[in-house]
Every structure is written in C-alpha cells, then in structure tokens.
Structure 1
Amino acid sequence: MHTQPTQVLLPYHLSEIDDKLNRIAESLQLPKSKRQLASERYKALATYLENDPIFFKYWTKDAYPQGSFAIRTTVKPYKKLEFDLDFVVHLEWRAGNYYTAMQILEELWQCLNRDGTYKDMIERKNRCVRVTYADGFYIDIMAGCQKDMWDNHRLKVPDRKTRIWTASSPLGYALWFKEISTLPDNEFLRLKRAYNEKLNIVDQPAIRLSQDIVKEPPYELKSPLERAVQIIKRLRDIYFYDNQDLATSSIILTTIAGYSYRKQLSIFETIDGIISYVDGLVGQQWNKNRPIKILNPANQEEAFSDKWDDEPELYTSFLEFIRFVKALWQRLRYSDEEKRNLAMMDAFGESRVKAILEEFKTHKTEVLRSIVNAGNAGALYTTSDVKLKTSLQENSYHNIPKRNFGGDNFLMPIQRFIPSVNQWQRHHIQKFYGSQFKSTTIGKKLIITGKIRPHAYCEEYKIRIEYVSGQTPQVFITSHDIKPLAKIHMYKSGALCLFYPPDLKWTYRTKIADHTIPWVAEWIVAYELFQLTDKWEANEVKH
C-alpha cells in the first residue's frame, strides 16, 4: 500500500484581532430562526408565483434568492433598520420578446394583488414589488427575463423609472462572488488548521478529553471575504444611521470588496486591502471629482455606480465613509490591547464589544484549561514547531507524564564535564525542532535560544536555556518582564521551576529536546491561564 507524501504547509496563526473580528461578524449574523423564517416566506412566495395560472406558471424558469442571502453575507438590522430578502423570478427569454418591461412589472403586481394574503402587503418599487410583513421584515421580488436562450446568467429586468429593460445578472454575480471568496485548497487548509488550533477543535473526537474540550465553536469558519463584507456593511449602517439616504449600497461595497480581494487569510488584512483598493482607484482618476465606475463583474453592461453620476453627494459620502473605515483601521493597529478594544467599542458599540471581550476571555480560559488538564492527565504531545496537542500527532513527543512544577531551586552535585554531551543535546534539538532553536557554546555552557508559542491563544515567548553537561538546565524568559514569584514557579533568579526534582533524576542522557522544551511550553500555557484566573492549575508542589 502506497501513501501520498504529506505536503508541508506553512503555518498560519489566527491573530487576536481576527479572532475578535470573527466574533463580531458572527454576532451580526441573522440568528438561525430569522434565516429559517425568511427561507419559509421566500419559498411560499416562490411556490405561489410558480403556480400562478394566468402568467407566471407558463413563463417561470426558476426562482432564487439574490444579494446577501445568496452569498452568505447577511447582517442583522441595525437598531430599527428593517431586515429584508431579495429574490428573482427568472423568466424564459421569450417572455422578454412578447412583453414589454412595464408589462412584466405589472404582471408581477397583479399576480400578488390577486392573493388575499399578499394584496394588502405589497407596494411598487423601481425594479421590484415589495412584500412587507407585520414584523417589519420584507421581501423584494424582481422579475427578469433571460436575455437570450443560451446564457442562463444574464437577465434583462424592468426599470420603472426609465420604463425600459436594464441589464442584470444576479445568479452570475453570486457565482462570481463565490469563486472570488473561495480560497485555494492549500490556503483553506492553512486557515482551517489555524481556526481549529485557536478554538481547540480536534478532528478526532474519540480520543480527546471530551469533558474539557469546548464542543461548540464560538463562530463558524467562513471566508475572510465573507466576514469582511459583513463587517464593512455594519460599519456602513452605523456611519449612515442618521443619513440613510446617503448610505452606500451593499452591492457596491460587496463588489469593491470582491474586486480588491487577493486571497488574504486575515479579515483585518482583507478590509485593509479594500481601503487600499479604493485609494488606488481614486488616485488613478485624472478628474478627482469624477466618480469611479463600479461595474457588475458578471455583466459589464450593468453599472452599480450609475447613481453617483446623477447624485454626486452619494459619491462624496462614500469617500467620506472609506476615510472613516481607514481611520478606524489605523486605530486597530495599536500594539496596546486596551486601545484596540476602545477602538472596537467606538466602532461597533460598547455593549456588543464588551460582551465579545468577555466571551473571548471565557473561551480562552476554557481552551487553556483544557490543555493544562490534559497535561495533568499525562495526555499532552509536543510537535516539532513546539505546539501542545491533546491528541497524538505525527512527529511529536509524548510529554513526560506524572510530573509536578515546584520544589526548591534544586542544584545537582557538580559532575564531570563531558563536552560530547553538549553536542549530543544540540544534535537532538536540531533533529526534532529544525531551525526553531539556535545554539552556541560559551566555555562549558551550551546556550540555546528560540521562540515558543505553544497555542494560538498564547503570546510568543523568547527563551534562553543554559546547560552544562549533567546539570539541570536553567531556563529564562527573555521577551517578557515577569516578576519572579513562587506561585508561578519562577525562582528569584528568573529561572523557571519546570519539575519537582524527586519526580525525575536528571542525568547525562536526559534530553532537553523531549523534556525541557515541552515543559517550557506547558509552563507558558499554565502561566497564561494563571493571568486569567490568578490560580496555578497545573500539577504542582508548593515552594
């Protein structure tokens, strides 16, 4: 039996800002109950129209949602803004030859007006008929004729203002957005691994510590572009709340986002790319007062930005909105976490962000605790990139079980120095961890330096290991200013207390690679959990 060689993928880490943006976007999504209700109402309307014995039964080819429902970018209404769904009644191409644009619109109106349920709920709009329900939810129905018999994606739709046909392609647009937002397989796998690591999702539930691992992830894994569109639409709703007539349409924002997307894995970088893309388009305009053109990528005959030519104040408002988003994104670049959180509160609302920050802290605590508990149970594994896993991984060390942090600073009796032992230790570190660590020799002392980030919820720590053959290694954190305390198992010298000496006798043959380095990773997780709970939860012997 032959196995395919495993492709090595560069690791990707889901940043804290992306984690929080994911949570914000998830909180903006319509709840399942609302989506189900919208789906039921849409299906009822579609069924009614398709069975209309006078007109639509004979000409309807298909009926399907368009807009945010079709491309998975729905957001909840902001404050009292209404929630809606758009769908298309796709008519045979011949209907467009037999009937005028205004006749098609009138047939749609008359069909709904004949029904006792819908007749008091409908109103005419420019390209559609709106059905408004008692709870404020509404559905916009657009009837369009296929432009020709060969192309299912291009429609001509009636326009009440001009009284003629206009070009459209809602199905083609949805397919374009799906293709643009879909990551290449390898990139999606990198994102999925980062998502799983961040949220502590294990692919093999049968072998995990089920009572400790969080079973329900706090947010769905979606394309960064889908998330970016949700976030930028909510920022639009907030920015234009007092001037809704000037608000940039969702289709323009979504199209610009799609045109700008370069398969980034980060939501933050995706929105940063949208800002840069708009800056670039505006910069290319020789006449800065002339609006940029935003065309339908699925049908270049349709310009979504036509209104900007007729109403230049809409274009001016759009540019001001982009400047607002740009300023916000600059604030989110702050290295200070408190400043970043304040920027989020200003943008998305204090109560929403506070709830998300509390949820973030709770989930982080649960995830880190599950890792600490796995270590306490002797069920932790360290990978070659120094990640702690709660299930057996290919090319990993099983962390030494039945070990405690703690005890007095234990110095072994001086033993005979054997130079080859230092080289032996260096060899095993390099063999397993590759270039993760650098080593040098100063006199009799082997100095090992490197960076460890044992879990996506942990910060990255720079460490320094000092070792003399036969002696217990001394480990120091060099990247963080941590006050030495017995309760976090750090001696006054700053050295870490990684094991209780009676648990293990350190000899010439005890490896730093499979003992010390995994223990440092465990200490980092336990320390970060301590910062959240003020309690050392790993197995310990008190100092």
Structure 2
Amino acid sequence: MLTQEEKKQFSEILETLGETLDITETQYNTAVSSYGAVGEWLAKPESSLAPYKPVVRPQGSFMLGTMIKPICEDDDLDIDLVCELTGKNPQWTQYHLKQVVGNRLKANETYKNMLDREGRRCWTLMYSDSANYHMDILPSLVCSGYNIVLEKAFSDTALGKDYESLAIRITDNKQNNYYTDTIAENWMKSNPFGYGRWFFNAANVASLRKSIMLAEAVSPVPKYNKEKLPLQRVVQILKRHRDMMFDGDEDKPISIIITTLASRAYNKETSIIDALTNVGTNMRNYIESRYDSSIGRTIKWIPNPVNPEENFADKWVEHPQREKNFYKWLNQVEQDIQTIVQQRGLHNISESMGKPFGEKIVTKVFSALGRKNFNLRENGVLKMAIGTGILSTVGSVTAAAHNFHGND
C-alpha cells in the first residue's frame, strides 16, 4: 500500500511521462494552421462547396487531448478531421458528396500532390517529411444550426447527455447505398463529437483545479492546452504501453477500445497513479459477452457509449488474434504497474519503466524530473519521504542542498 507521499511522487513521474509523450505546442499549432488552411480552401466563394458552409474540425485523439508521439520520432502523426457540410445538392449520393470534396482538394495544386489514394471514408493529405503528419478528412453532413448545438453541448454549464443531437452522416464506400441513395437520413451515422462529450463527462473531476475548456475541444481552431486531466494522462500512458508492446503489429489493441474501457473504469481519481492502477485492473470488467445469432455463438462486445448497438470489438470475430492480444496486453499492463509501484528509489523506478514505455523516453522523463528537483532542492522545498528514498515536495525531511565545493 502506497503512502500519500509516495502516491504524489509516482503521480509526478507519470505526469512527466505524459508531458513527454505530448506532441509539442509547435507541432500542435502547425497542424491546426494546416487544417485551417484546408478549411478555408474548401469554403472559398468560388468553391462548389461554399453554399454548404464547410467547416473542418478535429476529432479523435486530437480532440480528446490524448494524442501521443509515435515511438519513432520520424513516423507520422495521424490527425483525424471532420469536414462538415450543412446540407447538400438533393441529387447527391454519398459518392457525389465525397467526390465534390475530393475534387475541390484536387483543384489546389499543393493539395493535389499531397493526396493519398482515396480511402473508404476519408481523403488523406500526406504532408512533407519535415512536417511528419498526415490528415484524414472525413466528409460529412450536418443539420442546419449544428454549430450552435455543438457549442451548447460543449459549454461548461451543459450536462452534455444529449449525445444523439451531435450525430452526423458520413460517406462510406462499403455501404450498399453508397452510389444510389440521395436521402441523407439513410446514410451511415457517426458521432465523434457525442463521443467526445461523453469522454469529457467521464474525465472531468470537480475537485481538481485544472479544468479543460470544453468549447476549445470542438473549436475549428482550438488553443494548445498543456494541462491534462488524470484520465487523459492515463489514456496516453496506456497507448504508449500498447505501442511499445505491439510495435508494428496490425493486431494490436486499437485506441478507441483503450479509451472507452479506460473511461468506463475511471472512478474520478485525482491521483494519476490511483487512476492508472484502478483502470489497469478494472478495464476488463467492462467487456461484455453477447450472443450473436448470425454466427451462432457468444462474442465479446464493447459498446460505443453514444451508440450502444455498435460494437468496437466487432473485428475480433474475423481476427481472433486481436482478442487474444488485447487480453495479453491487459495482463501485461497490470503486471507492469504492479512492478513499478513496488520499486523504491528513482533509479529503480526508472529501470522498471524502461521496457514498458521505452528507455529513451523514460530517460527524458527522469532528466526532466532531475532538473525540477534540483531547482526545488536549491530553493529548500524538496522533501524526502522517510524510509522510501523517493523525493517529493510533501515529505518529512528537507533534502540538503548540493554544494559543489570539490575536495576540502
């Protein structure tokens, strides 16, 4: 059982790990500027999309504040975007709407050269090697006044439970009606912003001073926010653990499942170490088993919280290795957390974190902690928890300042 002093120290280490995993403010602002320029191009008066007031805004981990750097710093960041159109030409099918968005992108020589092969639902812009990111743009339809509905749902005073009002219609070339159906109500429904609101409902802790500006999360041009809530840090840490364990494996646990189960298991802990320990232990309890009559057997079911009939684990039936890997990963998470919290002394803690999170990034974490602790020591506010060897600002004994006098 950890003391309160030890919990604070471990949480400080994990907070620093999360900060080290964060994309930089420069990377963030560059991405926002890039997709803002795409939105402006789509909405120019001469654009065939102009009558439908296109808006490009982030979804996924960029919106949730859970994006992390890739293991290899030269790898791309994957930024998920939604291109919202208010209404459409009555003759347009999903195919037409998607092509109109694609054609407008191709009308810009720069974007034309950046376009990847057309995806199932998205258009992908591959930015230069120096930028190290690509953007998946999802064409979608929203109702008139959607922006007002969205702003209201993400206001700080909103209860934010009306997720259905945030649903959008998207294009999907695997749907039977992709080329034929002009009635948008029959198109595939998606709800990335309803999911975002659900996530922030789970993440927000009233007793914490830090707060997330909800309106910023769905702003087309959100401001960089360095502060993160415990659940956001937990999701980042779990995703990094996944990346290290399954680097390059296509059957690795997917982020939407990790985020959903972590959010369900999270119990408003204010300490990151408490949150991570609880989530790591209890995520599995939110995986359901349901009988699937179409295949005549029971399958694992992880419901989309804003569309319970959607199963985030639906691919596990076709790819049973993904289910095996997920449980293997859960077991490893529990084991690694247990090992880390049993360590005493910064060196031992650092050693225990190297394999699960990567030695290079853990070295950065403890270097950052070392700089911070040096400054605190010099100011006489660094304490040591008696008998633990773990330094913190809340211990009982003040750590002596280092005096570099050489040999007396």
Give me the TM-score of the superposition, normalised by structure 1: 0.58
Please state whether the residue corresponding to 1:167 is helix, strand or coil: strand
State yes or no: 1:175 paired with 2:48: no
| Structure 2 residue 376 is the aligned partner of structure 1 residue 367 | yes
How far apart, CA to CA, are the structure 2 residues paired with 1:480 and 1:64?
47
Is the CA contact 1:96–1:147 (under 8 Å) kept in the aligned structure 2? no
Aligned residue for 2:8?
15
Contact preservation (8 Å) 1:247, 1:317:
yes
The aligned residue for residue 188 of structure 1 is 208
8 Å CA contact 1:52, 1:111 repeated in 2? no
Indicate the SS of the match to 1:130.
strand
Equivalents in 2 of 1:352, 1:295: separation in Å?
34
Residue 214 of structure 2 is matched in structure 1 by none
Instruction: Write the distance in 2 (CA, Å) between the matches of 1:290 and 1:535.
Output: 67
- Show the counterpart of 2:174: 161
Cα distance in 2 for partners of 1:159, 1:138 equals 20
Q: Aligned to 2:379, what secondary structure does the other structure show? A: helix
Equivalent in the alignment of 2:267: 262
Q: Post-superposition shift, 1:148?
A: 8.6
Deviation at 1:12, TM superposition (A): 8.8
Q: Distance in 1 between matches of 2:351 and 2:80?
A: 36
5 Å-filtered alignment, 1:158-237, equals 158-163=171-176, 164=178, 165-184=187-206, 187-189=207-209, 220-237=226-243
Q: Tell me if structure 1 keeps the 8 A contact 2:172–2:188.
A: yes
**Within 2, Cα distance between the matches of 1:52 and 1:152?**
29
* Letter paired with 1:139: M
> What is the aligned counterpart of 2:124 among 117, 120, 130?
130
Distance 1:269 1:291 in 2: 31
Per-residue CA deviation, residues 171-215 of structure 1 (Å, 9 max, x unaligned), is: 22222222221111xx204x89xxxxxxxxxxxxxxxxxxxxxxx
Match of 2:352 in 1: 343
- CA displacement, residues 384-409 of structure 1 (integer Å, 9 cap, x when unaligned): xxxxxxxxxxxxxxxxxxxxxxxxxx
Q: 1: CA distance between counterparts of 2:20 and 2:330?
A: 23
Distance 2:264 2:114 in 1: 37
Aligned amino acid, residue 341 of structure 2 = R
**What residue is the counterpart of 1:312 in the other structure?**
320
Distance 1:117 1:359, change over 3 A: closer
| Aligned residue type for 2:384 | C
CA distance in 2, matches of 1:316, 1:87: 31
1:524 is matched with 397
Unaligned runs of 5+ in 1: 1-10, 193-218, 373-454, 462-478, 482-520, 537-543
Find the residue that maps to 1:89 and give its secondary structure.
Answer: strand
Structure number, greater radius of gyration: 1
After superposition, give the CA deviation of every residue in 1:269-314 in whole Å (9 maximum; x if it has no partner).
22222223333235x6488x95532333233354333322332222
Deviation at 1:97, TM superposition (A): 6.2
Distance 1:76 1:298 in 2: 28
What corresponds to 1:450 in structure 2? none
CA distance in 1, matches of 2:95, 2:314: 21
Return closer, same or farther for 1:105/1:522 CA change in 2, 3 Å cut-off: closer
Higher-RCO chain (CA-CA 8 Å, sequence separation at least 6):
2
Taking the TM superposition and a 5 Å limit, the aligned residue runs for 1:45-60 are 45-51=38-44, 53-60=46-53
1:43-442 map, 5 Å: 43-51=36-44, 53-60=46-53, 62-79=55-72, 80-92=74-86, 94-95=87-88, 98-123=91-116, 124-135=118-129, 136-146=132-142, 152-163=165-176, 164=178, 165-184=187-206, 187-189=207-209, 220-243=226-249, 245-282=250-287, 285=289, 291-337=299-345, 338-371=347-380
The 2-side partners of 1:254 and 1:97 are apart by 38
Of 289-298 and 34-43, the range deviating more from structure 2: 289-298
Cα distance in 2 between the residues matched to 1:522 and 1:279 = 35
Structure-1 separation of matches of 2:350 and 2:169: 47
Q: Secondary structure at the match of 2:108?
A: coil
Is the CA contact (8 Å cut-off) linking 1:247 and 1:318 kept in structure 2? yes
Note closer, same or farther for the CA distance 1:371–1:59 as it changes in structure 2 (3 Å cut). Answer: same
Over the matched positions of the two proteins, sequence identity in percent amounts to 23
Amino acid at match of 2:21: L
Distance in 1 between residues matched to 2:242 and 2:395, nearest whole Å: 44
Contact 1:146 1:152 in 2 (8 A): no
Alignment of 1:494-533 (within 5 A): 524-525=397-398, 528-529=399-400, 533=402
CA contact under 8 A between 2:264 and 2:286: conserved in structure 1?
Answer: no
Q: Secondary structure at the match of 1:111?
A: helix
What's the secondary structure of 1:347's corresponding residue?
Answer: helix
Check 1:47–1:103 CA distance in 2 against 1; reply closer, same or farther (3 A cut): same
SS of 2:247 mapped into structure 1 = coil
Helix, strand or coil at the partner of 2:341: coil
Is contact 1:155–1:167 with CA below 8 Å preserved after alignment? yes
The alignment's C-alpha RMSD in Å is 3.2
> What is the aligned residue count?
349
Whole-angstrom CA distance in 2 between matches of 1:171 and 1:230: 19
Displacement of 1:535:
7.9
Query: How far is the alpha carbon of 1:524 from its aligned partner?
Result: 2.2
**Contact 1:154–1:299 (CA<8 Å) still a contact in 2?**
no
